[in-house]
Structure 1
C-alpha cells in the first residue's frame, strides 16, 4: 500500500486502478530496483504505433529547429539551450493535432505501405521525437574547431572538411554504444538515473492528456506552460533588448565606479559579488536551478565560494604569478606585462617555433584561469577516488551482475522486438573510423596515428566511465587527459591538439549519451531498430545544421567572436581557443612543466590533492554514520563547480543558486504539490520564452540595418553593468 501511495503522489494524474493493476504482479515480474519499480511500468503493448509519419515529421522538424536554435545561441554572450523537456511539451499538442486531422488512408512510398494517421498519438512516438532532438541538444563539439581555424588561425578549410569532422566525431560514439548494450542497458542494476526523470516526464504528460478530470480545479499543465512561456517571451524584451542593465545589476560597484578593486570584486565581468541578474538566460544556463538537486547545488555553492571568492582573491591580490598585470577573470592569454599575447609571433604556418617563443616570451594567464586548471586536475582524480571509496563494492557487484546478464521484466519484455544486429554497429564503426582517418589525414587536422590513439583512449574508458555514470549519474571527463597526452606527444600543433581532444573526449561522451537514450528506449519498450534509425538520421541532420548555422554567422556577422561583435562574443569558443594555445600551440611542458620559463607547474599538485580530499571524509562517514551531512559531501561535484569558468561568469552561479534555493529547497519542502506539478514545466517554459524572444529580436531587429535601440542609462554605450573597470587589470588598464 505504501508503494501505491508513493506512485499516486508522483503521478497524480494517473488512474488509481491502473497503478493497482501494476502492483498485483509478483515481485519476480518487476524490476529489483525500487526507483525503477515506482517509475517505469512493467507492461508493454507491442501493437502501439511508433514508426509513423507523425514521428518522423515532428522528430525531424524539432531536430532541425533545436539544432539551429542551440547553435545560434551558443555563440552569443548569454547562451540558451532548448532541451528535452521543452521538445516533449511542445510536440505533445502537435502530435495530438496530427492524430485528429491527418487522413487515415494508406500511402505507398518506395514499397513501404503506411497510414498517415494510424490512431491516437502514442507515448512511444513521443519518446522517439524527444530522443531525436535530445541526442543533438548539445551542439556538435567539432564545430568549434571549424570556427577556430576560420577566425583565429586564418586556415579556411572547405565546408566538406568540417562536415566530415562533425559526422565522424558525433557518429563514432554511437557505434561504440552498440558494444555497451550487454553491460550498460540490459542488466537491471544499470539504472541510468537521468533516464528515470525523462520517463517520468513522458508518463506524466500522457497521463494528463488522456485523463478526463485530472486537474481538480487546478491550472492544467499545458495551459500553465503556455502562460509562463508567454510571460517569459514578453519579459525577455527588457534584458534582451530594451533594458539590458537589469540583466547585470552590479549595484555595489555603483558606490564608487572608478574604484578598480571594487569593480573587480563586484562587477559582472569580475567576481560579480552582489551582482543581480534579472535575466533567466544568465541565471539558469550553467546551474539549471530548477532541475539540479539541492544537495548538488550546495556542493556547487561551496566549491564556487572556495575557488571564486577565496582562492582567486588571495592569489590575485598577493600578485601570485604577476596576477595584477591581468584582469581578475579572463580566458585571454598575455605577456608578462599584461599586453595581449600575439600567437602570430610564435607560430610558423600555425606550428610553434621554439626559437620565436623564447624570443617573444612565455605565455601568461590570469590566476583564475590557472587555478581552474588545477581544480580541474583535482576533480579528475577526486572522481576516481570517490567512486572507488563510495561505490567500489557496489560497482564490482554490478559488474558481475552485468556479466551474468541478470534480466528483469523489462529485458524480458524487450525480447519481442528484433535487436539491432551487431554487424550494423560494427559496420558503422568501421566506416566512421575510415572516414576519420581520411578526414584527419586529407585535411591536415592531425596524423593518422593520432586518430587511432584518440580512439583507443575513448574505447578504453567508455565502459568504466559508463558504469560510473549508470550507477552514480556522474561522468568523469576525459578532456584534460586527452589534452595532456597529445600535448606532450605532439607539442606545437594547436589544431591537432583540439582535434585529438574531440576524438578522444567527445566520442566517449557521445557513446554514453546514445547509451542513455537506448536505456530510455529499453525502459519504455521502443523497438531497438527504430531507435537506431531515428538516432542516426537525426544526428546526421543536426550536424549539417550546426555547422551551417555557425558558418553563416561567422561569414555574415561583423567582428563575430570579439567584444565588438556583441552579442555574438563566443565565450565558449574563446575559451576553446585559449586551450588550443595552452595545450596545443605552446604545449603543457612550456606551461605546466619546466621548459622555457614555465611558471604554472604548481597547479599539477591538483592531481594529488584531488586524490587525497575524499579519503578523510569517507573515513569520517564510516566512523560517524549518524552524521548525515558527511554523506552529502561530494568532492567530484564540489571541485567541478567552477569547471565552466571561464567562459561562465561568477554572477551566473550566484543568481542561479539563489533561484535554486527558492525552488529546489523552499518550494520543494513547503509546497511539494506545486513543485511536483509545475517545477519542471516552469523551467521548460522560461527556456522556451527566452529562446523564442531572442530569435525574434535578432531576426526582426538586429539582423537588419535599421534603427537600433537608443542608448540610455538602461542601454549604455559601454559596459552594461556601469562598472567600467570590472574587466581591467589591477592598474586600471584594459586591453
Structure 2
C-alpha cells in the first residue's frame, strides 16, 4: 500500500467523535474540566496529514485577504473583524475541492519531496489555516503609530521603518509564548474558553455524517449552517435596513429634550435601558464564551463604575465634568472647547510656556475614572495571581515536566516539541531589530526599548493566568503610558511606541499562547504550528502597513469627520492617549504640575493591590461559602477597560445574553448547552461578518444608501436621542 493510499484509508475511517486511539483509554481518562470534556475529543490520530501544500496555499491566501479586509474596516466608522469562523466556513469547500482535483504524485522542490494531495482534506489542515488567519483578526497595533505620525503630528517615516516596527512588535511576543507553554498550555485547568468555540466549530464542520444522532438531535454541522444563515439574513436589518433596532434607547423617547434623561439612557451616554437587537453589540463580552462567574464579576464592576461612580462624579460636577459629555474620548479645554494640541507643541515636543498660556487639558469624568480603575486592575491582577495561583506556579516551575498530565498532554507526547533555542533565537533577533528600529528612526531611546520589554515579560504570566481561566485580558496600555510618560514627558511618539512594545508584545504572547492551546486540544504538531504562526505574522504585518499607506495616500480627509466612513474611531482614541500621556505627560494630567487636577485617580494603584486580600482571607477562613471563591477583582476592575471607544450598552446587552446561555441554559438545558452553545457563538459571528461584507461590497462601496425613514434617520441619530452625547448644558462637542 502506498503512503497516499495509507493516509487516505486512515482519514476515510476517521470520525471526529470517534477517532481511532493510539492506545486504550479508560472511561475516566479524560479532561477534569467539564467544558473541555463536552467539546474536545480525548483521542488522536497522529498519522493525519497537516503540513501539506494545500494547507500552506489556503493559509497564505486567506492570510493575505483577511489582513487587507480587517485593516480596511479598522479605519471605518463601523468596524468588522473577520476571523476564524468565516475563514473556516469558506476554506472548507476549497480544501475538499483541492483534495479532489490535485494530483497524488510527489513533487520535488529545493530538495524537499512532498505530495500535492495526501488524501481527504483533514481537520488539522483546516485548523492550521484558521490559525494563520487568526493572527490577523486584530490588525497590527503599531500601524496606528504610522498613522499618528503622518496625519496628527506631520512627521512621516520611510516604509521600511514602519515595517520593522510592525514586525518587531508582532513577533517578539511569540518568542515569549515558548516560555509560557508549561504554565498556560499544558495544565488542564488553563482552559482558554475562546479556544473551545473554535474547536467546536471545526469539529462540526468535519463531522463525518449529516444524519441525526441516536437521540434524534440535529447534527452540529446542520445546526451551524442554519444558525449562520439566520444570523446572515437578520443582520441586514440592524446593519442596513433598520439600524435603529441596534440602539433602542426607549427610555430616552419619553422626553428626548431632557438632558439628564438623554445622558443616562441614550446609546451615546450611559445607555441605561438601551436594547440592542444586534449580535455585534455583544462583542466585548463574548457572552456565550466567557464563564458565568466572570460575567457576574463584569456586571458588578460595570454597574459600580458606569452607573454609580460616573453619575455621582458627573452630576456633582467633579473636575467641572458638566462642561463635557458624560462619555467621550475627546479632550477639552476648561470651558468645554476641543483641546488643540498644536497650540502647545513645537516640533512635536511640548513647549511648557505655551502649555501654561493655553491652559491645562481636561477630559470627561468617565475617561478619568476609568484610568484610575485601570490602575487598580493592574495591581489587583498581580496580587490576585500571587494569592490564588502563586503556590501552583512555583510548584510548576520546579517540576514543569514531571507533573501529572491530563489526556491531552499525554496524546501530545507523540509530536516533537519546538526546541527552546528556536524561541530564544527569535527573541534575540527581535530584540536586536527593535533596538535598531527605535534608535535609527528616532522612535524612542534604546533604554526605553529594554524597559518596555521588561514590563511585557514581567506581566505576561499573571495576565495570562487571568485570561486562560476567565477569557478576560487585563491590558498593560495604561501602565506603559504611565511609566514612559513620567520618564520621558512631552514626547508623544516615544510614548505610543513604548506603549506598543510594552503592551502589544504582552498581548501577542498571549494570542500565540491561545493558538498553542488550540493546537494542544486538537493535536497539531507544535513545530508546524510554530512555522505557520511566524510566516502568517510577517505576511499580515506587511499587508496591514501596505493597506494603511494606500488609504492615507488615496483619501486626504481620512480620520476626520469629512472623511466618512473612514473616521478612524480607534485611531482617534489612540491619538487622545498620545496627547494625555505623551505630548503633555501624566505629571501635568495626573500629578501636581501646571494645574493638574486628576491626581486622585493614582490612588487606584494602592486600592487595587488591597482589594483581593480580604476576599482571599475570607475564602480561606470560610471555605464552605462558595461565592467567595468566585470574586475575581482583576476581571471586576477590567469591566470598563474598553470604554471608550466601546459604549455601555454593549455590556448590558451582552451580559443579558450571558445570563440566558451561560447560566440558564447551562443549568436547566445542559444537554443542549453541551452540544450547541459554543457552536452558536461561532455561527452568529459568521453570519454577521459575511453579511457585513456583502452589504459593503455589493451596496455601500457603490455609494448606494438605504432610503431614510424613522428606522434609518438622515441625521445619523439612530437612537433618536440627540442629546445623549452632549454636555450638561445641551452643547454637543
Contact 2:80 2:692 in 1 (8 A): no
User: Which residue, out of 709, 722, 725, partners 1:724?
Assistant: 722
Map 1:699-718 → 2, pairs under 5 A: 699-704=697-702, 706-718=703-715
> 1:58 deviation in Å?
2.2
CA distance in 1, matches of 2:536, 2:197: 19
Could you report, residue by residue, the CA deviation over 1:242-276 in whole angstroms, capped at 9, with x for unpaired residues? Answer: 22222212222222222211211111111111222
The answer to whether residue 222 in structure 2 is matched with residue 226 in structure 1 is: no
Measure how far apart 1:217 and its partner are. 4.2
Matched, 1:111 2:117: no
Moved more, 714-723 or 106-115: 106-115
Report the alpha carbon displacement of residue 356 of structure 1 after superposing the two structures with TM.
0.8
Other-structure match for 1:9: none
Where do residues 184-223 of structure 1 align in structure 2 (5 Å cutoff)? 184-185=184-185, 188=187, 191-194=190-193, 197=196, 200-201=199-200, 204-205=203-204, 208-209=207-208, 214=213, 217-223=216-222
Question: Helix, strand or coil for the counterpart of 1:108?
Answer: strand
Partner residue, 1:603: 601
- Asked if 1 retains the 8 angstrom alpha-carbon contact of 2:384 and 2:612, the reply is yes
Residue 600 of structure 1, CA deviation: 0.3
Relative to structure 2, which stretch is displaced further, 481-490 or 99-108?
A: 99-108
Q: Is the 8 A contact 1:437 1:448 kept in 2?
A: yes
Deviation at 1:729, TM superposition (A): 0.7
Alpha-carbon distance in 1 for matches of 2:201, 2:688: 23
Across the aligned residues of Structure 1 and Structure 2, the Cα RMSD in angstroms comes to 3.0
Number of the residue aligned with 1:277 = 276
Superposed displacement of residue 122, structure 1: 2.2
Residues 14 and 211 in structure 1, CA contact (< 8 A), matched pair in contact too: no
Q: Does 1:560 align with 2:554?
A: no
CA–CA distance in structure 1, aligned partners of residues 696 and 241 of structure 2: 13
Which residue among 654, 657, 663 is the counterpart of 2:655? 657
Distance 1:129 1:216 in 2: 33
Stretch of structure 1 that moved more, 285-294 or 549-558: 549-558
1:360–1:31: structure 2 CA closer, same or farther, 3 Å change rule?
same
Of the structure 1 ranges 548-557 and 437-446, higher mean CA displacement relative to structure 2 is found in 548-557
1:622 aligns with 2:624: no
Q: Is the 8 Å Cα contact of residues 333 and 363 (structure 1) preserved in structure 2?
A: yes
Moved runs in structure 1, 4+ residues, more than 6 A?
A: 16-21, 30-39, 405-409
What is the rounded CA distance, in whole Å, between the counterparts of 1:105 and 1:474 in structure 2?
Answer: 47
- Name the residue aligned to 1:8: none
Match of 1:345 in 2: 343
> Which secondary structure state, in structure 2, belongs to the residue aligned with residue 648 of structure 1?
coil
Q: Structure 1 residues 419 and 472, CA, compared in 2 at 3 Å: closer, same or farther?
A: same
Distance 1:309 1:26, change over 3 A: closer
- Cα distance between partner residues in 2 of 1:638 and 1:31: 28
Contact 1:32 1:188 in 2 (8 A): no
Per mean C-alpha deviation after superposition, the further-off stretch among 370-379 and 552-561 is 552-561
**1:110-149 maps to which residues of 2 (within 5 A)?**
110-149=110-149
TM-score normalized by the length of structure 1? 0.90
Would you say the 8 A contact 1:189–1:401 is kept in 2?
A: no
C-alpha separation between the residues in 1 aligned to 2:194 and 2:646?
27
Output the CA distance in 2 between the equivalents of 1:715 and 1:606: 42
- The structural deviation recorded for 1:336 is 0.5
Q: Is the 8 A contact 1:193 1:470 kept in 2?
A: yes
Map 1:487-566; keep pairs closer than 5 Å.
Answer: 487-557=485-555, 559-566=557-564
Q: What is the rounded CA distance, in whole Å, between the counterparts of 2:493 and 2:557 in structure 1?
A: 22
Distance in 2 between the 1:245 and 1:41 partners? 43
| Greater Cα shift, 15-24 or 217-226 | 15-24
Q: CA deviation at 1:76?
A: 3.4
2:26 corresponds to: 24
- Give the C-alpha shift of residue 633 in structure 1: 1.8
Number of the residue aligned with 1:325: 323
Question: In the superposition, relative to structure 1, how do residues 715 and 473 fare at CA in structure 2: closer, same or farther (>3 Å)?
Answer: closer
The answer to whether the Cα contact below 8 Å between 1:288 and 1:656 also exists between their aligned partners in 2 is yes
Going from structure 1 to structure 2, the CA distance change for 1:32 and 1:315 (only over 3 Å counts) comes to closer
Distance change >3 Å, CA 676–CA 519, structure 1 → 2? closer
* Pairwise CA distance, 1:36: 6.8
Q: Which of 561, 576, 580 lines up with 1:582 in the alignment?
A: 580
Q: Say if 2:73 and 2:81, in contact at 8 Å, map to a contact too.
A: yes
Q: How far does the alpha carbon of each residue in 1:291-323 deviate from its partner, in whole angstroms, 9 at most, with x for none? A: 222222221111111111111111001000000
Gaps of 5+ in 2: 1-14
Counterpart position of 1:390 = 388
Could you report, residue by residue, the CA deviation over 1:693-722 in whole angstroms, capped at 9, with x for unpaired residues? 222222233333x45333322222222222
Counterpart position of 1:49:
49
**1:640-655 pair list within 5 angstroms:** 640-655=638-653
Aligned mates of 2:211, 2:236 — CA distance in 1: 37
Look up the match of 2:252.
253
Quote the Cα distance in structure 1 between the aligned partners of 2:140 and 2:316.
Answer: 40
Partner-residue secondary structure (3-state), 1:113: strand
Q: Post-superposition shift, 1:125?
A: 1.5
- Which residue in the other structure is 1:10 paired with? none
